[in-house]
Chain A
């Protein structure tokens, strides 16, 4: 990525890579560019040094934010030479991770200017609606606030990896134990038997003592038995993981054609952990939602629009089959807008005055700015996407917002241009939860148009609205139930005289110094009453495709999903409902929004009491001893029934993450089905993940798309990035990336589950195989005077793990499936064994080990018994060492192959080739190495000449091999059969059903979409920020199309400073109220 930069030493702009950006450089940013470093805004293309930024990458908020330069620097404009001479000095705080705070002083031209967050553009933001701006780099690279917020990169390893390491250590201990046993055996043998025997066999009699011999034997056996320590395991595991990663990359069902982005496994070491996820931490903006708002439905005068009646007359959701309304008659219509209910268009044609008023309100009451691009098309610059959706809807229905000045709003009403005089702008804020405009139409009537939260607005209605109110409330509930963002719409006709009085009072209030805000608020209250309800709008914060199904499915898989977002509480809650994380069936939703540690503690305590109170009423009001309480808690933790949700905001979270409340938070959060954290900073996201990771010992997954998710992606066991978007930071930090949230379902339920399943099977088999292979040496030790003689040929030992048995188990580890992918998705419960770590754990390891020991016993003692005192068919003895070795080796290869054949549940061509091929390879190599020719060349290396030919033609030896195989395999089959019959796992059942289905392919029945019942709650959510009203009434964000007369400019300059001051004051107020106690603590 490159950026236009003026190095501090030069006087010209040049294109440089981001890496070359240094503190003190001046950067020129253009519209829609990413900000490369933390900048002090110097000047911009907009008047008064304003610029607009989108901070979605930083905090997930989608509305535009205003930054403005100091007036002294904004005068520099785009004058390169003057900018080059800029020699101000900034003294500021040390690099830190607080996104909403900045403190510094600019010293320039002998005067000092204080700097706050409003003058700073942070790295990660995107410049919007601003032609260009210049900024001086304050922090670059790792010092930027964004980077300060991204946690440390840690080396990620899976829990199986850790378990494997432990097991390998145990095996090593086991090896040493065997070595010691055999060494002691050797010492005793040497003492009892060997001494006399040695004198017979060797010349150097009496030189060795038995203890020394035992010592040497110990080391010999460590070397011989080292095959029990699976060294090739690590390589094989990596190969399998690599294979699984490729499968993820190759999966067409995770390919997003919209952006031509396939899924990508960016690490190859974490695959099986995908099958063990217990907690998912998801970002909201860009991950769950598409960051697109669409106007979905509306209720006008008690009539609902946007729902399509199908033939049966039942209400159904808008589906693709229905034809959208044709807006082609309207040349100004936005082509991307789609609406499916033709009745609204018909109502407009019929001239329904309420509908007109409704659409007029949408076209008038907003903070949108319009602009015509080169093609003459109308472009809206919106500061909140919700408003954009509403204004665009009005535009398509023929009420086109054309332009505005600080005193007028021009709209085109069904083809005729109408200019309204903007008399007052009653701005939005978080307490009022509404905004209003007062306009005078060309006929001279004064009207107040208001839109806002239903809960607020309904209190202001005129009593005559009662009937309409109930109807609209029903509609609103319906909208809210569908997770739509709702706004109530109302108007009021104002008396000229009354308005004038009110306006005068407002002007007076504005002139006040003390209690100005309170007075203004009171005045706003006063005029916004006796409203006439028009209806309600419902805007959809468009979820990504399949999000709801994915989340439902993942919850069925017992995965807990937490939403961590930087966005507002209402928005977060709304999305929670929209994507089914929050439902109306929930017993309770706890909202923690305290601003001090004490408040937070109290709220947490209350929530917990509430939660327990519903579950165990018996302990209410009693003082319980601490210890007893603990015991009860642990019991309750298991027995909490019913669904609860916890919603906590960033400021509360900051307190809650402190050590003493942490446990309370965690306990409460883990008992809730859903947790939503809103207004959290990137670092807090990571802290939450860390908390769960550390104290719940659970496997976590974090998914996000923006730079603000990087820290949590890095922190979680598995980080997933949404790719195919503008920013790459999340993807670059992630372990897996794909383009749509819905692919997470396939990644976890199919790929993750398979990976885990395969890896566990692979490990069980691998340990079994090594034990079966190696332990025969141990048994043989008791018959060969503990002399460290191997049972097998050296060549067999060398080739066994690599050539004879590696490929079948690798094929199983890569290709095996118990149930197919469709069933994996259809039965999310199949995921649970992974979470509970059932398929491979220490117990499974010991079972595998016991199995291996049993096999080695069968492998050794059956040939031993059979060979004892036996002659061959031609009377020759067959109990020679070499024949024994060949018999054992052949039995082992066959037993191990039969075992892998039993373990493989999905026999592809590759499995066939590898399993049969391995056995065939064994025999061909055996015969080759025992052939005359190779012995003739290397007589000392291949002493087994003729052995295969001789031994494997004896019936007796084949009977031994057969018996060994049968006795090794039969118990395994019995146990498996009984297990499937007595306590079948879900997987077994589904496999059986799958088999039955194969015969009679029934049509797959989709789970019926449950229609949510309506609820008594407000769906209000609005991504809006205070301050824009003033911006508009001051007219200072409007670009002068013609050079304004000089006096006007002066006036606006004057005005602008005042509103900027106000704006600053307000923002600092809110900021300080949030961070007050935080700073105290700091």
Chain B
């Protein structure tokens, strides 16, 4: 005992705020005024946002056409895998009663397609898609190598199952004049996807770069022949390919296919009138009881929002206000009693 006191002359603990648990602090307490005003403010904010969201969602023009049944003959044809090389096209006429103003986007939408399955999401090779190592097919099973052992490029289940319908929208001015609506392929992908995540091997000749690789089994042509006109859209840089590779979170999803090029007739958007979709039907969905549709839609400040968010905000706001009112009532009723309680 003595020795220890000699070694450390003072055993008195430091008088620091931390050690004495006296750190300056503000004590958070839910004061009635604070909570209630907070509630009213939150409620007002939520209601406001909700109403704005609902209004803007209402302003969105959207047309969705499910074509699985409309193109029933094609669907039937595609059910048999041996008919993969037979072409099947399908034309779907429709009437646009109102002009779709502003930017118009063309989506394809799939129902019941599970892009979020564990094995499915994993089944890709980012290093291959970056173009650095085409032979890297590590995670791609069961679509890593073809029957003869050559690595598949692009490998994996995601790439293999690419949505390969072609959708062409034509504007029917009258029964004889069909104008192909000008569509832009650019800008449908994320910038980082197009310029960072997906890169072709750095050679002048794509086909030679992809030599020694096989095409995915369900593909009709190899990856370096996806767009022979535009080298910026060929190989891994193909926009449709990139969009498909960004897997959806839910089994029902829509993916951006094209956007309207606002020239000629379409400067204002899509004018009202007769249109038709010309679809070359390649992607089989009936085998997994799925459906596909094509969607035309405009957007607002918050994107192509649905009613859900607006409604949710409105409901939350309303509930918050309701709670705030009842809490105020309770608080006022109990105020006297509480005071008495404390005085005791």
Residues of A near any B CB (own CB < 8 A): 193, 196-197, 199-204, 220, 246-247, 249-253, 255, 257, 260-262, 724, 754, 783-785, 787-789, 815, 817, 821, 862, 864-885, 901-902, 904-911, 932, 935-936, 939-940, 943, 945-947, 949-950, 954-956, 959-960, 963, 966-967, 970, 973-974, 976-978, 980-982, 984, 989, 991-995
Chain A residue with Cβ nearest B192 = A946
Chain B residue with Cβ nearest A780 = B116
Whole-angstrom CA separation of A260 from B4 in the bound complex: 11
Q: Is the pair B121, A871 in contact by a Cβ cutoff of 8 Å?
A: no
A963 contact from B287, B301, B312, B327, Cβ within 8 A? B312
Residues of B near any A CB (own CB < 8 A): 1, 5, 10-15, 19-21, 23-32, 35, 38-39, 42, 46, 49, 53, 103, 105, 107, 109, 112, 114-121, 125-127, 129-130, 132, 138-139, 142-143, 157, 160-161, 187-193, 196-197, 217, 246-256, 259, 284, 287-289, 297, 299, 301-306, 308-309, 312-313, 316, 319-320, 323, 327, 330-331, 334, 338, 341-342
User: A873 to chain B: which residues have CB within 8 Å?
Assistant: 299, 301-303
Q: Is the pair B107, A867 in contact by a Cβ cutoff of 8 Å?
A: no
Q: Is the pair B251, A783 in contact by a Cβ cutoff of 8 Å?
A: yes
Q: Is the pair A789, B121 in contact by a Cβ cutoff of 8 Å?
A: yes
User: B125 to chain A: which residues have CB within 8 Å?
Assistant: 940
Q: Is the pair A940, B313 in contact by a Cβ cutoff of 8 Å?
A: no
Min distance, Cβ B77 to any Cβ of chain A, angstroms: 16
B114 contact from A257, A785, A885, A950, Cβ within 8 A? A785
User: A785 to chain B: which residues have CB within 8 Å?
Assistant: 114, 116-117, 251
User: B327 to chain A: which residues have CB within 8 Å?
Assistant: 974, 977-978, 981
Can you spell out 9 A-B residue pairs with CB atoms less than 8 angstroms apart?
A201-B161, A250-B14, A907-B26, A910-B23, A956-B305, A966-B42, A978-B330, A980-B30, A981-B331
Q: Which of A197, A815, A955 has the most CB of B within 10 A?
A: A197
Q: Is the pair B248, A877 in contact by a Cβ cutoff of 8 Å?
A: yes
Not counting A877-B254, A989-B342, a sample of 14 additional A-B residue pairs whose C-beta atoms are within 8 angstroms of each other reads A196-B287, A203-B143, A246-B19, A260-B5, A787-B119, A815-B21, A815-B25, A865-B309, A866-B305, A870-B306, A877-B248, A939-B126, A945-B197, A982-B330
User: B305 to chain A: which residues have CB within 8 Å?
Assistant: 866, 870, 956
User: A910 to chain B: which residues have CB within 8 Å?
Assistant: 23
User: B246 to chain A: which residues have CB within 8 Å?
Assistant: 877, 880, 882
Chain A residue with Cβ nearest B57 = A870
Q: Is the pair A202, B157 in contact by a Cβ cutoff of 8 Å?
A: yes
Whole-angstrom CA separation of A409 from B20 in the bound complex: 58
Chain B residue with Cβ nearest A723 = B1
Q: Is the pair A963, B32 in contact by a Cβ cutoff of 8 Å?
A: no
A932 contact from B196, B254, B320, Cβ within 8 A? B196
A789 contact from B23, B117, B299, B308, Cβ within 8 A? B117
B126 contact from A815, A943, A963, Cβ within 8 A? A943
Chain B residue with Cβ nearest A204 = B142
Q: Is the pair B118, A867 in contact by a Cβ cutoff of 8 Å?
A: no
Whole-angstrom CA separation of A960 from B49 in the bound complex: 11
User: A994 to chain B: which residues have CB within 8 Å?
Assistant: 27
Min distance, Cβ B181 to any Cβ of chain A, angstroms: 15
Whole-angstrom CA separation of A28 from B140 in the bound complex: 85
Q: Is the pair A876, B188 in contact by a Cβ cutoff of 8 Å?
A: yes
User: A907 to chain B: which residues have CB within 8 Å?
Assistant: 25-28
B46 contact from A255, A966, A976, Cβ within 8 A? A966
User: B341 to chain A: which residues have CB within 8 Å?
Assistant: 984, 989
Q: Is the pair A950, B190 in contact by a Cβ cutoff of 8 Å?
A: yes
Whole-angstrom CA separation of A864 from B49 in the bound complex: 19
Q: Is the pair B21, A995 in contact by a Cβ cutoff of 8 Å?
A: no
B118 contact from A197, A788, A947, Cβ within 8 A? A788
Q: Which of A201, A935, A967 has the most CB of B within 10 A?
A: A201
User: A260 to chain B: which residues have CB within 8 Å?
Assistant: 5, 10-12
**What 7 A-B pairs come out closest when comparing CB atoms?**
A946-B192, A871-B304, A250-B19, A884-B249, A875-B105, A939-B126, A908-B23
Min distance, Cβ A595 to any Cβ of chain B, angstroms: 43
Chain B residue with Cβ nearest A865 = B308
Whole-angstrom CA separation of A945 from B190 in the bound complex: 10
Q: Which of A724, A871, A955 has the most CB of B within 10 A?
A: A871
Min distance, Cβ B293 to any Cβ of chain A, angstroms: 11
Give the interface SS of chain A, mostly helix, strand, loop or mixed. Answer: helix
Q: Is the pair A984, B142 in contact by a Cβ cutoff of 8 Å?
A: no
Chain A residue with Cβ nearest B112 = A193
User: B249 to chain A: which residues have CB within 8 Å?
Assistant: 783, 867, 879-881, 883-885
User: A252 to chain B: which residues have CB within 8 Å?
Assistant: 12-13, 15, 20
Q: Is the pair A197, B288 in contact by a Cβ cutoff of 8 Å?
A: yes
User: A909 to chain B: which residues have CB within 8 Å?
Assistant: 23-25
User: A978 to chain B: which residues have CB within 8 Å?
Assistant: 327, 330
Min distance, Cβ A899 to any Cβ of chain B, angstroms: 13
Q: Is the pair A973, B23 in contact by a Cβ cutoff of 8 Å?
A: no
Q: Is the pair B338, A869 in contact by a Cβ cutoff of 8 Å?
A: no
Whole-angstrom CA separation of A789 from B32 in the bound complex: 44
Min distance, Cβ A708 to any Cβ of chain B, angstroms: 20
Q: Is the pair A251, B13 in contact by a Cβ cutoff of 8 Å?
A: yes
Task: From known contacts A204-B142, A262-B13, A784-B114, infer whether A879 and B250 are also in contact, taking CB-CB under 8 Å.
Answer: yes
Q: Is the pair B127, A939 in contact by a Cβ cutoff of 8 Å?
A: yes
Whole-angstrom CA separation of A754 from B265 in the bound complex: 74
A251 contact from B20, B26, B187, B253, Cβ within 8 A? B20
User: A935 to chain B: which residues have CB within 8 Å?
Assistant: 126, 196-197
Min distance, Cβ B337 to any Cβ of chain A, angstroms: 9
Q: Is the pair B252, A868 in contact by a Cβ cutoff of 8 Å?
A: yes
Min distance, Cβ B165 to any Cβ of chain A, angstroms: 15
User: B323 to chain A: which residues have CB within 8 Å?
Assistant: 970, 974
Task: From known contacts A193-B289, A249-B13, A872-B303, infer whether A946 and B197 are also in contact, taking CB-CB under 8 Å.
Answer: yes
User: B109 to chain A: which residues have CB within 8 Å?
Assistant: 869
A939 contact from B132, B187, B255, B319, Cβ within 8 A? B132
Min distance, Cβ A2 to any Cβ of chain B, angstroms: 14
Whole-angstrom CA separation of A78 from B196 in the bound complex: 97
User: A980 to chain B: which residues have CB within 8 Å?
Assistant: 30
A945 contact from B23, B25, B196, Cβ within 8 A? B196
Whole-angstrom CA separation of A403 from B322 in the bound complex: 92
Whole-angstrom CA separation of A907 from B250 in the bound complex: 41
Q: Is the pair A970, B316 in contact by a Cβ cutoff of 8 Å?
A: yes
Min distance, Cβ A955 to any Cβ of chain B, angstroms: 5
Min distance, Cβ B303 to any Cβ of chain A, angstroms: 4
Q: Is the pair B118, A870 in contact by a Cβ cutoff of 8 Å?
A: no
B302 contact from A250, A884, A955, Cβ within 8 A? A955
Min distance, Cβ A737 to any Cβ of chain B, angstroms: 12
Chain B residue with Cβ nearest A962 = B49
Min distance, Cβ B294 to any Cβ of chain A, angstroms: 14
Q: Is the pair B53, A959 in contact by a Cβ cutoff of 8 Å?
A: yes
Q: Is the pair A876, B248 in contact by a Cβ cutoff of 8 Å?
A: no
Chain A residue with Cβ nearest B194 = A946
Q: Is the pair A261, B11 in contact by a Cβ cutoff of 8 Å?
A: yes
B30 contact from A880, A906, A977, Cβ within 8 A? A977
Q: Is the pair B105, A977 in contact by a Cβ cutoff of 8 Å?
A: no
Min distance, Cβ B227 to any Cβ of chain A, angstroms: 20
Q: Is the pair B21, A821 in contact by a Cβ cutoff of 8 Å?
A: yes
Whole-angstrom CA separation of A787 from B253 in the bound complex: 18
Task: From known contacts A202-B157, A247-B21, A881-B247, infer whether A946 and B309 are also in contact, taking CB-CB under 8 Å.
Answer: no
User: B319 to chain A: which residues have CB within 8 Å?
Assistant: 970
A871 contact from B21, B118, B157, B299, Cβ within 8 A? B299
Whole-angstrom CA separation of A1065 from B50 in the bound complex: 98
Min distance, Cβ B289 to any Cβ of chain A, angstroms: 7
A880 contact from B5, B118, B132, B248, Cβ within 8 A? B248
Chain A residue with Cβ nearest B109 = A869
User: A867 to chain B: which residues have CB within 8 Å?
Assistant: 249-250
Q: Which of B46, B303, B312, B331 has the most CB of A within 10 A?
A: B303
User: A932 to chain B: which residues have CB within 8 Å?
Assistant: 192, 196
Min distance, Cβ B47 to any Cβ of chain A, angstroms: 12
Q: Is the pair A963, B309 in contact by a Cβ cutoff of 8 Å?
A: yes
Q: Is the pair A992, B29 in contact by a Cβ cutoff of 8 Å?
A: yes
Task: From known contacts A250-B20, A252-B15, infer whether A869 and B29 are also in contact, taking CB-CB under 8 Å.
Answer: no
